[in-house]
Structure 1
Amino acid sequence: MKSRITIGALVAVAIFFVLLYVVFEKVDNRESVKKTESQKLRVGFVLLSDTADNGWNETHYKGIRAACDSLGVQRTLTIDIPEERVPLANAVNAMIGDSLKVIVLTSYNYPILIRDIIESHPDVTFYGINWEFDAPNYKAYFARIYQARYLAGIVAGSMTETNHVGYVAAMKNIQVYRGLNAFILGVQSVNPKAKVFVRWTNSWNEGETETENANKLIDSSGIDVIAFHQDRAFIIEVAEKRGLYCIGNHVENNRFSPRMLTSIAIDWSIIYKDFIQDYIQKKDNENMDYWIGLEKDAVGLAFYSSEVPDSVKALVNAAAEKIKTGHNVFSGRIMDVHGGIRSEEGETIGDEVLHSEMNWLVKGAIEP
């Protein structure tokens, strides 16, 4: 009897280890398949200008490199592609001809300019930073950069002595309006008397135009703090020469004077890793769009200069914590420059409007 029990026990143990081996072998095989898929994946990225511009494109490139290296993905970059149909179409068609199945368009107007190419290649997945276009093989992604601009507005509103703040904006599109409005609301949250004077350049990267508009703002509006939404540091250079405080845009470290107070920043690696990993794991249809912000530390302020007092930092930190726990900066009574009510007390402006309908300026903006 004893020997039968012993033999039965041994058989049971043997079966257990066989089953355990099978389970772990399947898991290992799945992990091997994922790793192989990621190593085979080649992702194309189209960028607007130089990857060493100390601004928008450089931060993009660093994020791309970090995400791809982390995931074992090969990257193919095409740079210096303006927001113009012909050069963009040539760049994207070359990537498609090279058998790339994932193409990332890193500038706002890119998807609109080649919508026919996107729609005619359903076997290629495109990602772009624009919610104004839709297709089955296109997914929008972006950082909630307006949250960082709101925080930068708190700094500007706290540091101005004239209550006149300047802002040099690029294109009159929803992305720029959204960020500008958030900045103004940030200024007003700490300084209700402040006004924000705005000039438009209709360019992302035109040094002469940006310099001219910054100087016009300074000469005509009595501003003592200036912010901007462009790719490079031309506005900062004007502020340095004219002795103004400045808020940077995608500047990772302060190579200027302490009058450069801070800069909005995006950690693109968090965003790129998020959606590329979903694509590898075939989860991308579960999350059709990617809009990531302070809740994952994808946006924020890059640094503070010695000119920014601790009391201002405390205001920014308090606002950031509030946003992280779900506060929408576009909340409460918000009026536009024409007196229209866009949000009432107890209301918020939701993502659908922020994506596609915010083509207006909040009260407090002045276009001289």
Structure 2
Amino acid sequence: MKKGIFGLLAVLALLALSCSNKAPAPEQPGKPRVAFVYIGPPGDGGYTYQHDQGRKYMEAQLGIKADVVQSVPEGADAEHVIADLAQNHDIVFTTSFGYMDSTLAVAKRYPKVIFMHCSGYKTAPNMGTYFGKNYQGSYLAGIVAGKMTKKNIIGYVGAFPIPEVIYNINAYALGVQTVNPKAKIYVVWTNTWFDPSTERQAAESLLDKGADVLQAYQDSPATLQAAAERGAYAGGNDSDMSRYAPKNYLTNPVWNWGPYYTKVVEAVENKTWTNTPYEGSLADGTVTIAPLGSDVPASVKALVEAAKAKIIAGQLHVFAGPIMDASGKVAVPAGENLPLADILKMNWFVKGVVGTIPAPAAQ
């Protein structure tokens, strides 16, 4: 009981101190009042950083100032933060999967407030969801990795064993296999989105196995930094992380949330908002990849650009059969494309991925 009370007090204190201007945004007559809830700090260099860049873009486009609460733990405490924001905002963006149930609970209590939840699947009349096909970017990053490995040992640092991370690992592996079917992708789980120390330990364990290329589905650049210290190549996640290790960087998927956030706020303002789930892609620019690293040859860049163009044109589907799972069974038959609904609940590895998928730890 005490732990819960102190956790609540900590979150309420965070709410008071963590807004974008250290105080609630001033009233802006005629403009929607907007708030964001972040899982990490905007300075994480990855996931939260990109959401924050999207917020800033939206603010500049619409001439408004949003409130921000950062580093809010997923779970019960998040519900208190979201509910507090709902009392004096028109739109609340909750930007992490683990906020889903908390967002839904608050949405039911505040039917006049619009809630937008990132990466989830539950909706309500006043609650929508949004995410994107970042696995398209992971596939392209895999092409680069497959060409850059010399040992055919690639390491992948994954956050949680949930579908979002699993389908990105698989897409990456499929990209690798298009250019290097001999390569193996070894997965280590951290059970955290943002813990640079834990992420580094996972990366180092993969380097100890002989990996000469690493990829991470994490919020910090720790994997990239660990790889650079050992002379290996690596890609990060969510944001262009080349600045953390420019000589060792390859590429990774990048989010571009600004135009979408602008569109949502405008729709609420114009009373045209709906709760239709949004799934961005390479085609609409919500998903892209960072510029390829300086060591990546022009021939590899050409392969990536060709694959990217085919994905955008609808001529290449990342999860097009035939695809074998890690046990050697047919997971996607030849001539079929795995439906998006099945991608979003993926709980199996493709052939060539080495690792286990345990039950997800609490997020």
TM-score normalised to the size of structure 1?
0.84
Cα contact 2:142–2:174 (8 A) shared by 1: yes
* Partner AA of 2:37 in structure 1: V
Q: 2:231 aligns with which of 243, 263, 282?
A: 243
Cα contact 1:142–1:290 (8 A) shared by 2: yes
* Partner AA of 1:290 in structure 2: Y
Corresponding residue for residue 82 of structure 1: 73
- SS of 1:140's partner is strand
How many residues of Structure 1 are paired with residues of Structure 2 in the alignment?
A: 327
> Runs of 4+ in structure 1 displaced over 6 angstroms?
none
In structure 2, the CA distance between the partners of 1:209 and 1:344, relative to structure 1 (3 Å rule), is same
Corresponding residue for residue 257 of structure 1: 246
Q: 1:304 aligns with which of 292, 308, 319?
A: 292
- SS of 2:115's partner is strand
Q: Unpaired segments of 5 or more residues in structure 2? A: 1-27, 357-363
Q: What CA deviation, in whole Å up to 9, does each residue of 1:109-135 have, x standing for no partner?
A: 111244322223222221112333232
Quote the Cα distance in structure 2 between the aligned partners of 1:205 and 1:131: 19
Alignment of 1:28-47 (within 5 A): 39-47=30-38
Quote the Cα distance in structure 1 between the aligned partners of 2:43 and 2:33: 23
Corresponding residue for residue 84 of structure 2: 94
Q: 1:328 aligns with which of 312, 317, 323?
A: 317
Quote the Cα distance in structure 1 between the aligned partners of 2:271 and 2:254: 30
Larger Rg: 1
Quote the Cα distance in structure 1 between the aligned partners of 2:92 and 2:192: 24
Q: 1:70 aligns with which of 61, 64, 68?
A: 61
Cα contact 2:103–2:117 (8 A) shared by 1: no
Alignment of 1:22-33 (within 5 A): none
In structure 2, the CA distance between the partners of 1:206 and 1:78, relative to structure 1 (3 Å rule), is same
Larger mean Cα displacement after TM superposition, 227-236 or 66-75: 66-75
Cα contact 1:38–1:280 (8 A) shared by 2: no
Cα contact 2:32–2:265 (8 A) shared by 1: no
Q: CA deviation at 1:299?
A: 1.8
Cα contact 1:127–1:139 (8 A) shared by 2: yes
Corresponding residue for residue 207 of structure 2: 218
Q: CA deviation at 1:210?
A: 1.2
* Partner AA of 2:169 in structure 1: L
Quote the Cα distance in structure 2 between the aligned partners of 1:48 and 1:55: 11
* Partner AA of 1:90 in structure 2: H
Alignment of 1:45-194 (within 5 A): 45-86=36-77, 88-98=78-88, 100-194=89-183
Q: CA deviation at 1:236?
A: 1.1
In structure 2, the CA distance between the partners of 1:38 and 1:195, relative to structure 1 (3 Å rule), is farther
Corresponding residue for residue 3 of structure 1: none
Corresponding residue for residue 8 of structure 2: none
TM-score normalised to the size of structure 2?
0.85
Instruction: From the two aligned structures, give the one with the greater helix fraction.
Output: 1
Aligned-residue sequence identity (percent) comes to: 35
* Partner AA of 2:73 in structure 1: P
RMSD: 1.8
- SS of 2:131's partner is strand
Quote the Cα distance in structure 2 between the aligned partners of 1:169 and 1:191: 22
Q: CA deviation at 1:253?
A: 5.4
Q: Are positions 1:232 and 2:220 aligned together?
A: yes
